[in-house]
Structure 1
Amino acid sequence: MATVFIPIFGQHVSARQSETAKVRKSLHPYCSDDDVKQAVSFLFEYSGSQDTYNTYRRELERLYQWSWLVRNLSVVTITRQDIVDYTLFFKDPPADWFSVKRTRRFLTVGGELRSNSEWRPFVKTDKLVHQSPASLKSMLAVLSTFYEYLLQESIVQRNPVKLIRKHQLIQKQQETIIHRQLNTTQWVALLQAVKLKTLEDDSYERHLFILSCFFLLGLRISELASSTMQSPTMSQFYQDHSRCWWFQTVGKGNKSREVAVPDDCLTALVRYRRFLGLTDLPMFNDHSPLLPKDRGRGSLGIRRVRTLVKDAFSAGVDHLNQQGKDRDALMLKSATAHWLRHTAIAHDVSQNRPLTDIRDDAGHQSINTTNIYLQSSRKERYLSAKKKQLKPQQEGDDGW
């Protein structure tokens, strides 16, 4: 019998959870209303940040699905060994736990909200479905926080995550490396492809502006698109009394920050606003949407912005293939919107911008996070090894 997956938590904490629990209860007897209520109460604590909420919701939902569907357990009865077993399961989930693309959790059918039958706990973003050490570490951190919450509420007697020996479950890395970024060839091809598209279809001006914001400001997608936490407006671009331009945003952890705006970004803003029929630069009271919808009022949401980025990537892939750069095209095809943020920060580092400035613009809590993007020592290490020979040269030796 095929496993039936039903999403538990919505885009934000709401009464929807209790309705979903009733449906789940009829299918899986180990679904506990208390389990759902405890998770909703916990998630509510993080509802001030969409990114954090999404991360915590994702990890809790996966644990709940495994607990109910695989172990037939309530999450409050999970032991240390259960967490170990779940971690092993998490490393390599069964194929039917994956969807091939991101899907909506719920659909409106005939005016009624229903769970999406295509939704799965995991998303297969490429050919590899094994979870990375970073994903494992993040998952365990979220679950540990959740069980600490249950412990403080006197719902459980101990935190089972703290009882496991994490170093035996998570492979250690010599150093943290940001691989998911575009190289110069890919970025230039992407930019050229989208600019060519604007000559055929002026709606691609929006694609171009979105790419410009990602690369020149190093934004997260949640800082550019509309969400339950914020809806970016034109007035978030502003000039201070020193005639310096800034972009005001609310980032990870619900923290407000200012991002320095380069001249090229202002040029991109002017071009985009002319496309929208607006004045060249916004005033302080310009509360029009930064990314207005195609039809109707309001701003583009995260899902729509992600789709536009994928459209741009597709154009870039075609452009690279036409140039015979198949390997670069294949890599760009697997890229996501967040790669652009990594690309932006890595480029800033390569241009020798002060790391503290990059940290502040990127919204990194610690300079150690920014240091991850330093690649100079790796390049030097590679160059020092590049000329190593299988047979060392001896004096008077011409080779083999």
Structure 2
Amino acid sequence: MQEAALVERAPPDARSQLVEAGSDREVVAAWLMEYRTSPQTFRQYRKEAERLLLWLESKGKRLSHIDRRALDEFEAFLARPTPVTEWVGPPRPRQSDEWRPFRKGLSAASRRQALVILQTLFGWLIEAGWLHQNPFRLMRDKRRRLDNTSDSIERYLERPLWRWCWQQLNMGPPADATPRIHYELERRRFVFAFAYLLAPRVSEMSQARMNDFRMREGQWWWQVIGKGGKRASIPVPDAMMTALIQWRGMLGLPAMPSPEEETPVIRALDGRRGVGDNQLYRMIKATFERLAQTREHEGESTSHDAQRLRQATPHWLRHTAITHQAQQGVELRYLSRTARHSRLETTARYLHAETQEWHGQINRHTLDLSDEHQDDTL
């Protein structure tokens, strides 16, 4: 994608700057460096900032030109990036001329997330002295648009659908399956077990090493560096150790990992190299698509399930894990530590039991609408 020409000028009062930058791109790069210790956050923030900069450059504008109306224009552009040939395309290396900033227009939830990230950027730019006004403050419906929380988490698989998925993942390979097919099926099964039993983020799974699993006083713990570079120890349930032992058997390794075994947990087809975030993301999405096709073929009554599976992303597995733990009675304080949330309010969004009880009790309030009880005199 060719970048539009842009005349760069210093902000209105360069003397007030707290960062060294001579252009919008340089100051945004300085902002991104604040997140360099969190690769997943860095990539997400870079993507949203880059889309904004490219959009501005296509119009010959700078960050300082964004006003309230421009925010609405940009949000509409995120929903339908046009011209499509210039903005939308399949995955390509960033250095390729065929690289595009979008795979498709963003959903309402994705647009909201983009605005949340850009609001963070603008707040930082003001603190840095690069900008002197924040158009996000003028959004009348700011709370609805920028509050990226909801009453409860909805992007998860309900227990019956998850059980069906797990049954499908545990189906053995065909009799004529090649060693590669055996390997891929076992890897797929392990990835979903890992995601469901420990509730990791995709980046945490791809970066996991065998010696991150450690025994202390007869119990296994998973050592993980999560969002913001925070370290945590997560209890490893017996089912996870069973899955890990089976996966290590496929790799030709001893049953239990050793403290010196600093090798990838999830591996490429050669059984040695690790997999990147994007590769793991695509692997899980492809599995959801196959599951959706299988579910769809089971009949019309399962079409809703198939639609849910097609909507599902790898992060849904994390939501599913935390939600199901909550439904099984795991205390909020432990649930929050497993999820590694900084606030209990975030974890509380996964507690669906109260809403189910509420619905059940309200359902007692009813009417008899059968024809045989209607009064003909009315």
Residue 380 (structure 1) shift: 2.4
- Report the 3-state secondary structure (helix = DSSP H, G, I; strand = E; otherwise coil) of the residue aligned with 2:23: helix
The one of 183, 190, 196 equivalent to 1:209 is 190
What's the counterpart of residue 265 of structure 1? 240
In the alignment, structure 1 residue 49 sits paired with structure 2 residue 38: yes
Structure 2 unaligned blocks of 5 or more: 9-21
Stretch of structure 1 that moved more, 38-47 or 73-82: 73-82
Match of 2:323 in 1: 346
SS class of match (1:373): coil
Instruction: Determine the structure 1 residue equivalent to 2:128.
Output: 153
* SS of equivalent residue, structure 2 residue 224: strand
Instruction: Name the CA shift for 1:53/1:238 in 2 (closer, same or farther; >3 Å).
Output: same
Distance, in Å, in 2 between the alignment partners of 1:346 and 1:239 is 27
Equivalent positions of 1:91-170 (< 5 A) are: 96=84, 99=88, 103-106=91-94, 113-117=95-99, 119-121=100-102, 123-124=104-105, 130-132=107-109, 135-167=110-142, 170=145
Q: What is the TM-score when the length of structure 2 is the normalising length?
A: 0.82
Match of 2:303 in 1: 326
Following superposition, the deviation at residue 371 of structure 1 comes to 0.4
C-alpha separation between the residues in 2 aligned to 1:182 and 1:252? 23
1:310: how far off? 2.7
Counterpart among 167, 179, 184 of residue 192 in structure 1: 167
Q: Distance in 1 between matches of 2:322 and 2:289?
A: 23
Matched pairs, number: 352
Aligned to 2:204: 223
User: Does the 8 Å CA contact 1:189/1:319 hold for their aligned counterparts?
Assistant: no
**Inter-CA distance 338–319: structure 2 relative to 1 (3 Å threshold):** same
* Contact persistence 2:112–2:146 (CA under 8 A): no
Sort the Cα spacing of 1:165 and 1:314 in 2 relative to 1 into closer, same or farther, 3 A: closer
| Secondary structure, aligned partner of 1:66 | helix
Secondary structure of the 1:258 match is: strand
The residue aligned with 1:280 is 255
Structure 1 CA distance for aligned equivalents of residues 111 and 342 of structure 2: 21
- Contact 2:159–2:324 (Cα < 8 Å) also in 1: no
**Which stretch of the first structure deviates more once superposed, 340-349 or 42-51?**
42-51
Which AA in structure 1 matches 2:189?
L
1:189–1:320 Cα contact (<8 Å) kept: no
Q: Percent identity between the aligned chains?
A: 26
Offset from partner CA, 1:286-329 (integer Å, 9 cap, x none): 11211222238531011211222133324423442454333312
List runs of 5+ in structure 1 lacking aligned partners. 1-5, 7-22, 107-112, 226-230
Q: Alpha-carbon deviation of 1:59?
A: 1.9
Distance in 1 between residues matched to 2:279 and 2:145, nearest whole Å: 35
1:18-75 CA distance string (max 9 Å, x none)? xxxxx52xxx233648121121111111111122112211221222232222x43111
| Whole-angstrom CA distance in 1 between matches of 2:160 and 2:357 | 21
Per-residue displacement from partner, 1:209-236 (whole Å, max 9, x unpaired)?
A: 11011000011101001xxxxx321000
Contact 1:235 1:285 in 2 (8 A): yes
Q: Distance in 1 between matches of 2:350 and 2:143?
A: 27
Q: Which residue of the partner structure matches residue 335 of structure 1?
A: 312
The answer as to whether partners of 1:84 and 1:164 remain within 8 angstroms in 2 is no
Deviation at 1:172, TM superposition (A): 8.0
TM-score when scaled to structure 1?
A: 0.78
**Are positions 1:82 and 2:70 aligned together?**
yes
- Tell me, in whole angstroms, the C-alpha distance in 1 between the residues paired with 2:285 and 2:143: 38
Q: Tell me which amino acid in the other structure corresponds to 2:213.
A: F
Specify which of 355, 368, 387 is matched with residue 332 of structure 2.
Answer: 355
Within 2, Cα distance between the matches of 1:171 and 1:144? 8
Q: 1:307 to 1:29 in 2, by over 3 A?
A: closer
SS of equivalent to 1:238 = strand
**Partner letter of residue 211 of structure 2?**
S
Identify if the C-alpha distance between structure 1 residues 366 and 114 changes in structure 2 by more than 3 Å, giving closer, same or farther. same
Code of the residue aligned with 2:202 in structure 1: it is I
How large is the Cα RMSD of the aligned pairs? 2.9
Q: Deviations over 1:64-106 (max 9, x none)?
A: 232222x4311133234433443454466558287476x2352
Where does residue 24 of structure 2 map in the other structure?
35
